[in-house]
Amino acid sequence: MLLEGRHTRTIWVEEEGRSIGILDQTKLPFRIERLKLETAAEVAHAISSMQVRGAPLIGAAGAHGLALALAVDPSDAALASAYDLLVRSRPTAINLKWALDRVAARVRPLPPARRAEAALADAKAICDEDVAINEGIGRHGVALIAEIAAKKKPGERVNVLTHCNAGWLATVDRGTATSPIYAAQEQGQPIHVFVDETRPRNQGAYLTAFELGEQGVSHTLISDNSGGHLMQHGLIDLVIVGTDRVTARGDVANKIGTYLKALAAKDNDVPFYVALPSPTIDFTVDDGVREIPIEERAGEEVTHVSGVGPDGEVTKVRITPERTKAANHAFDVTPARLVTGLITERGIAPATPEGLRALFPDRAA
Amino acid sequence: MLLEGRHTRTIWVEEEGRSIGILDQTKLPFRIERLKLETAAEVAHAISSMQVRGAPLIGAAGAHGLALALAVDPSDAALASAYDLLVRSRPTAINLKWALDRVAARVRPLPPARRAEAALADAKAICDEDVAINEGIGRHGVALIAEIAAKKKPGERVNVLTHCNAGWLATVDRGTATSPIYAAQEQGQPIHVFVDETRPRNQGAYLTAFELGEQGVSHTLISDNSGGHLMQHGLIDLVIVGTDRVTARGDVANKIGTYLKALAAKDNDVPFYVALPSPTIDFTVDDGVREIPIEERAGEEVTHVSGVGPDGEVTKVRITPERTKAANHAFDVTPARLVTGLITERGIAPATPEGLRALFPDRAA
């Protein structure tokens, strides 16, 4: 997508076989800083410190990290050690392990002299495949937007609500929940996005507002409390969110607060869609509310907020009395009954066991 | 309630006939500052600058403002001029106009020499009546808490979720939504309060967390996004919120985001109660979603957040890209079908036209 007016992926090859480039996402939206990473250790640090974030982007970064390691030392020992370093940089990121396993399996049978080149080629392929998946999501999702537009007056905008950042910045390009939005923009469909600020980590205010602004998509930031009111008054046509995990029956784990928006959508007959690359579907889990463990993070993410102060410096302020304790559940689970459909690269599946099995007969048990 | 360990109302007579005292609520929770107000103009400024806030407290402050004016000059002209000054300090506060009308009607027939004393007596009565109403709400509401406790193991805490600040700080004492909580605490009932931070103005993080902390009530701050997840996992027994206006059929206007919590409560069979002094019921309005106009406030309340910085100073930070625009709807309406009951000083009414008429036959049309 566009960054400062130029097409930019979130990860790129800086010098073939020697370095990659990333955006330091911990500095967004206050500073646009590009980082050059030259070693697997630097990539591991970028992942663990959340300079890169979002499952697809973390996977792509990990693959490039292995390639950088093999360019210096293509031995079995170096491969094993870089793999360990990288996989430990975010132990819960299933996509990271998947990407590392894929690259490692690809290069291990090769003579050491050919490993670096093959690893780099595979890392690039992983990036390109992510973009292709997201383009697929965009193609299927934009049809929903077109359907809604067809019922409106010509030129009237379609209003989409999204939560958190399932955007360009969480992927290599285009994003998942944002991909249909960017596709609509490219097709000249008037579209407007209401962006939940997404407390406590403010990914909507920090990241989604930033990338929509860079891309020139019309948008309005709202407090997470506002979505229900907007839907009651007909101001939202469609909700599209991303997800961290979808179960075999279509329950959706996503950033905390997603469930509340799904309830409001149901109560106001607003379609509620979830956009995802199909590997996000976990066919081994059924009841998301009971079976998916929800990460509890530090209370300080609730009691403290970072932003730019009057002096232009990024500052962290405490918004509570000194001794106030906070709980910080990072995700919630939206039951399948509240989900209108799942937008994948293969098409749109109903959020039902049958719907998912029909679209993914090769993966369902 | 307790402030720094001593029982304190939010408004008090400092020197009989000469000054009143208030807490400067714009400084909370970061600084506890008491202000002495000596003139109607100072009271009007305290109201318009939100140093005092909350409908009942604003009404009480207005009444005291009139009394202060009459102590200096009890003429008809002075009365009219102080009334005008005060009523314009918050034109939308129906309670302010009610209190000013009451005091003015009381003193106008009296000879000027007796007006100041009578106005002060009436202002004190308005304060005491507010406390009595809130004690009534507490008495009826604590019975609900006791019912829930009776179904638990002895000593197990009852978990209440609240949104915004309908607490001591919005009233003269005890609060509305908090009154049953304080009553439970006094009865030795183990109770825990989950406090929604209540973006964008953070009244939960700033005020409710503060007053529960001062009073020694166990509580946890949560992001507004969290309530649905907590209810799915059985961590909330009861929701109690306040309200700005209840319609004749029981629709409830309250701080933005209340509706989302009511939806989650319904979806998880958690009782959802609204606490209110009965003058909050507006029998002239029926359909709250269609008929109650919702105030839109400055977007800057969403894009900027105030807190204490690392240097201990209160600082305002911007949490968005520089050009991000925000919408800021201040209230929403929760349809009566989602409300389990309305806790008033007279008793608990079902949120139905019949329920409200039965409890308030003297007021319903």
The predicted complex's ipTM stands at: 0.95
**What is the predicted pLDDT for the residue at A138?**
98
Please write the tens of the pLDDT for every residue from A39-97: 999 999 999 999 999 989 999 999 999 999 999 999 999 999 999 999 999 887 778 99
Query: Which of A218, A268, A319, A339 to mutate: most B Cβ within 10 Å?
Result: A319
DSSP one-letter code for A171: S
Note whether A359 and A345 are within 8 A (CB): no
Please write the tens of the pLDDT for every residue from A166-189: 999 999 999 999 999 999 999 999
Note whether B262 and B273 are within 8 A (CB): no
A156 vs A308: CA distance, rounded Å: 36
Q: Maximum Cα–Cα distance for chain A, whole Å?
A: 64
What H or E segment, with its residue span, contains residue A70? helix A55-72
Task: Give yes or no for A8 touching B (CB within 8 A).
Answer: no
Please write the tens of the pLDDT for every residue from A264-299: 999 999 999 999 999 899 999 999 999 999 989 999
For A328, which residue in chain B has the nearest alpha carbon? B222
B321: nearest Cα among A9, A204, A317, A181: A204
Please write the tens of the pLDDT for every residue from B184-203: 999 999 999 999 999 999 99
- Scanning chain B, the segments in alpha helix (DSSP H) are 40-48, 55-72, 76-87, 94-107, 112-150, 179-186, 203, 209-215, 227-232, 258-267, 288-291, 300-303, 353-359
Note whether B137 and B275 are within 8 A (CB): yes
Note whether B47 and B61 are within 8 A (CB): yes
- Residues of chain A neighbouring B197 (CB-CB closer than 8 A): 199, 302, 319
For residue B94, the one-letter residue type is I
The strands making up A11-15's β-sheet, listed across from edge to edge, are A11-15, A19-23, A34-37
Nearest residue, CB atoms, B199 vs list A194, A223, A255: A223
**What is the predicted pLDDT for the residue at A90?**
87
Nearest residue, CB atoms, A324 vs list B221, B260, B299: B221
CB contact under 8 Å between B294 and A255, yes or no, is no
CB contact under 8 Å between A202 and B227, yes or no, is no
Helices (H) and strands (E) in chain A, counts: 13, 18
Q: Is the model's pLDDT at B93 over the cut of 80?
A: no
Please write the tens of the pLDDT for every residue from B107-126: 999 999 999 999 999 999 99
- Taking residues B227-248, report their average pLDDT: 97
Nearest residue, CB atoms, B232 vs list A202, A261, A289: A289
Please write the tens of the pLDDT for every residue from A188-210: 999 999 999 999 999 999 999 99
Q: Is the model's pLDDT at B100 over the cut of 80?
A: yes
Task: Give yes or no for A330 touching B (CB within 8 A).
Answer: no
**What is the predicted pLDDT for the residue at B161?**
98
Q: What pLDDT band is residue A365 in, cutting at 50, 70 and 90?
A: low
Please write the tens of the pLDDT for every residue from A101-118: 999 999 999 999 999 999
User: Helix or strand or coil: residue B315?
Assistant: strand
> Cα distance from A322 to chain B (closest Cα, Å)?
8
For B316, which residue in chain A has the nearest alpha carbon? A309
